[in-house]
Structure 1
Amino acid sequence: MSASPNQHLAVGEPLHGVDAVVLVGGKGTRLRPLTLSAPKPMLPTAGVPFLTHLLSRIRAAGITHVVLGTSYKAEVFAEHFGDGSALGLELEYVVEEEPLDTGGAIRNVADRLRADDVMIFNGDILSGVDLPAVLGTHREANADVTLHLVKVPDPRRFGCVPTDAEGRVTAFLEKTDNPPTDQINAGCYVFRRPVVESIPVGRPVSVERETFPGLLESGARLQGHVDASYWLDLGTPAAFVQGSADLVRGIAPSAALPGPAGQAIVLDGARVRDDVELTGGTTVGTNCMIGNGSRIDGSVLFDGAVIGSEAVVERCVIGASAKIGDGTVLRDVVIGDGAVIGAGCELVDGARVWPGVELPDGAVRFSSDC
């Protein structure tokens, strides 16, 4: 494939002539029960749906035309964001009727694209990458595809992407036990539009296992943009809690926080007693109630959650309208919407309570569903 003319883009310069595609069709099964009622990108994260943070960064970079590739609970996105004008964007929605995998989902939105370059985002990645810098790398290298790559301590769980001295991608190794490099696929790409249009239509296509290896085999230029910016995959409850806390504390960048960065964000309508301790990047949703002497650390309380007196909640997600009894201790757990946890309970180490479940006073749960 021939690349477009070399166009250098300085770091920090707005992105003109670029479309954005955000892939938000996944079911978020690893985050259940949180995703039973909402798609993963719409979960409240530091006070707003996670997707709001990503869209705000896209807009801040100067991109205004964004296509959302939706599937699971597709209507939720349009109901919340509408035409995107509130964010200064022009949003379009393309629904994936059957699962098409990442490459197929990208191809599925091709008829909505207008620009020569397309910046594509996985909708569950929290990142601080400089978007103009990624596009600058893409254009300077005359690349067909540019991949944002980050270095991680243990790359075995991710797509491993070695590059040569010029930053050109030499292989794409999906979840290998013996990775030759610590560089991984960070879930943000720039595609030339003809590359998008070359992806097969109407069937599942893995961009990692089919599209990228096929492009390498054909001699296309795949370029890596490696940086040390903040990066987190929000696919698990622990990562979701960490990402929200990092946003609240200002560790992860966002222009969409509903309040100043700090130890906690408390949304309008929440009632928090004066002696309550809120730390670690906690978010307290609208109409929440927290009783006397409770300590909430690094946790996310969805709208309407009620925490009793003298409770301890650490690194947890408390679902909408859930009720936590007096003196209960929760550490590293997920409480589903509307669940009721009795007084004096102890739940720790990854326990998950499903929506509507009621636990009696004094119940103890370790790393189990209930």
Structure 2
Amino acid sequence: MKALVLSGGSGTRLRPITHTSAKQLVPVGNKPVLFHGLEAIAAAGVRETGIVVGGTRAEIEAAVGDGSRFGLDVTYLWQPEPKGLAHAVKIARDYLGDDDFLMYLGDNIVADGVTTLVERFRVERPAARIMLARVPDPRQFGVAELSADGRVVALQEKPREPRSDLAVIGVYLFNSVIHKAVAEITPSARGELEITDAIQWLVDHGLRVASTITTGFWKDTGNVPDLLAVNRVVLQQLAPATDGVVLGSELVGRVVVEPGALVTGSRVVGPAIIGPGAVVTESAIGPFTSIAADCRITDSWIEDSIVLPRASITGVRRIESSLIGQDVVVTPTPDPPRGHRLVLGDHCKVEISS
């Protein structure tokens, strides 16, 4: 079995962060989202992994390399523009050959991993097995209808009137017949080759499509609220550790201070992580906060937030529910403000108290 990881796409819902960074490399718990998926693939015993990349190819390759750090053998597959999940399967045809494969969306987090799903597929040998989750608003997803024995009998892509609350989430298992299905379908009204259409082709031709309904935590990390939700869950799974230097400070609960970090005169409430080389001085951090490598936090209060590498925050009280990018500098205004002075990039979203 091989794996196919989709890591193209422009990440428009995470702008302006994704103007300068691939969305799959935004960290949760100080680890890129993509890395969580690669570790789950390796844990399931799959080694050969093709990563579909687009305009952020150089960043993805620099971060992942040859995959050996994850126990994987990685090949990069170029997709000039995202034209649907089934299009990604199409461009990976030569790489996949006639092997079974696990398809994993690189911006998804599945807390329970994929090992059980892979094992069931290997034993039961359906044409496909898909992972589903019950969601409050299925209209934003592919939606599955099931028979009494869990077989998929119909699929709809982002329906206006969903016939179930079972969303198709970002983990799929296929045998080689999916390539025939992909070759037979045509682009949807969105101009994309939909994987739901390819799976429906399997159903329509009498092939078995099995399903697994996950009850564990799952998120597509395509926007800031979902990223923060995933960060909370990941932080709660960390084992407390103090490998950096802590002076005159209080650590409460599940806190990780990574090697090379320095925390002085501060209070850190877990779950929280302070990255390598970060310096936290006279500040309050957490709960549910990730401070990445080489950040400088001084005389500030930050909670329920993700702070990316090399950011500097000084004299700010308080920051909450925020995603702060790399090399950002945040300081208070020197004088009592008469108005707000802003320099904002394209597609920013700003909330200001008036």
> Partner of 1:337 in structure 2?
326
For structure 1, the residue ranges without an aligned partner over 5 or more in a row are 1-17, 346-351, 356-364
1:229 aligned to which of 181, 198, 216: 216
Equivalent AA in structure 2 for residue 206 of structure 1: L
Cα distance 1:132–1:209, how it changes in 2: closer, same or farther (>3 A)? closer
Deviation for aligned residue 1:20: 0.8
Structure 2: distance between partners of 1:344 and 1:318: 20
Instruction: Classify the secondary structure of the residue corresponding to 1:76.
Output: helix
Structure 2: distance between partners of 1:195 and 1:333: 41
> Partner of 1:324 in structure 2?
313
1:308 aligned to which of 291, 298, 319: 298
> Partner of 2:279 in structure 1?
289
1:266 aligned to which of 250, 253, 257: 257
Please show how residues 1-370 of structure 1 align to structure 2 within 5 Å: 18-114=1-97, 116-129=99-112, 131-139=114-122, 141-196=124-179, 198-200=181-183, 205-250=192-237, 263-279=254-270, 281-309=271-299, 311-343=300-332, 366=351
Structure 2: distance between partners of 1:130 and 1:302: 24
Deviation for aligned residue 1:198: 4.3
Equivalent AA in structure 1 for residue 317 of structure 2: T
> Partner of 2:248 in structure 1?
none
Structure 1: distance between partners of 2:93 and 2:36: 24
TM-score normalised according to structure 1 size: 0.78
Structure 2: distance between partners of 1:207 and 1:119: 17
TM-score normalised according to structure 2 size: 0.82
Cα distance 1:354–1:63, how it changes in 2: closer, same or farther (>3 A)? farther
Equivalent AA in structure 2 for residue 276 of structure 1: R
Instruction: Classify the secondary structure of the residue corresponding to 1:134.
Output: helix
Cα distance 1:325–1:102, how it changes in 2: closer, same or farther (>3 A)? same
Q: Is the Cα–Cα contact under 8 Å of residues 288 and 303 in structure 2 kept in the other structure?
A: yes
Equivalent AA in structure 1 for residue 309 of structure 2: A
Structure 2: distance between partners of 1:293 and 1:132: 41
> Partner of 1:360 in structure 2?
none
CA deviations on 1:41-72 (whole Å, 9 max, x unpaired) are 22222222222221112111111111111113
For structure 2, the residue ranges without an aligned partner over 5 or more in a row are 245-252, 335-341
Instruction: Classify the secondary structure of the residue corresponding to 1:214.
Output: helix
Instruction: Classify the secondary structure of the residue corresponding to 1:80.
Output: helix
Q: Is the Cα–Cα contact under 8 Å of residues 50 and 95 in structure 2 kept in the other structure?
A: yes
Structure 1: distance between partners of 2:66 and 2:313: 38
Instruction: Classify the secondary structure of the residue corresponding to 1:193.
Output: coil
Q: Is the Cα–Cα contact under 8 Å of residues 84 and 91 in structure 1 kept in the other structure?
A: yes
CA deviations on 1:188-242 (whole Å, 9 max, x unpaired) are 0011123135423998643345323333333332221223122121111121122
Q: Is the Cα–Cα contact under 8 Å of residues 133 and 167 in structure 2 kept in the other structure?
A: yes
Instruction: Classify the secondary structure of the residue corresponding to 1:172.
Output: strand
Structure 1: distance between partners of 2:343 and 2:292: 15
Q: Is the Cα–Cα contact under 8 Å of residues 324 and 343 in structure 1 kept in the other structure?
A: no
Structure 2: distance between partners of 1:235 and 1:53: 15
Deviation for aligned residue 1:329: 1.1
Q: Is the Cα–Cα contact under 8 Å of residues 306 and 324 in structure 2 kept in the other structure?
A: yes
Cα distance 1:327–1:89, how it changes in 2: closer, same or farther (>3 A)? closer
Q: Is the Cα–Cα contact under 8 Å of residues 321 and 337 in structure 1 kept in the other structure?
A: yes
Between the aligned residues of both structures, percent identity stands at 25
Structure 2: distance between partners of 1:134 and 1:125: 16
Q: Is the Cα–Cα contact under 8 Å of residues 320 and 337 in structure 1 kept in the other structure?
A: yes
Bigger mean CA deviation after superposition, 58-67 or 73-82: 73-82
Deviation for aligned residue 1:292: 0.8
Cα distance 1:168–1:141, how it changes in 2: closer, same or farther (>3 A)? farther
Q: Is the Cα–Cα contact under 8 Å of residues 155 and 179 in structure 1 kept in the other structure?
A: yes
Structure 2: distance between partners of 1:213 and 1:117: 18
Deviation for aligned residue 1:124: 1.0
Q: Is the Cα–Cα contact under 8 Å of residues 293 and 310 in structure 2 kept in the other structure?
A: yes
Deviation for aligned residue 1:92: 0.7
- Give the root-mean-square deviation of aligned CA atoms: 3.0
Q: Is the Cα–Cα contact under 8 Å of residues 137 and 225 in structure 1 kept in the other structure?
A: no
Deviation for aligned residue 1:313: 1.3
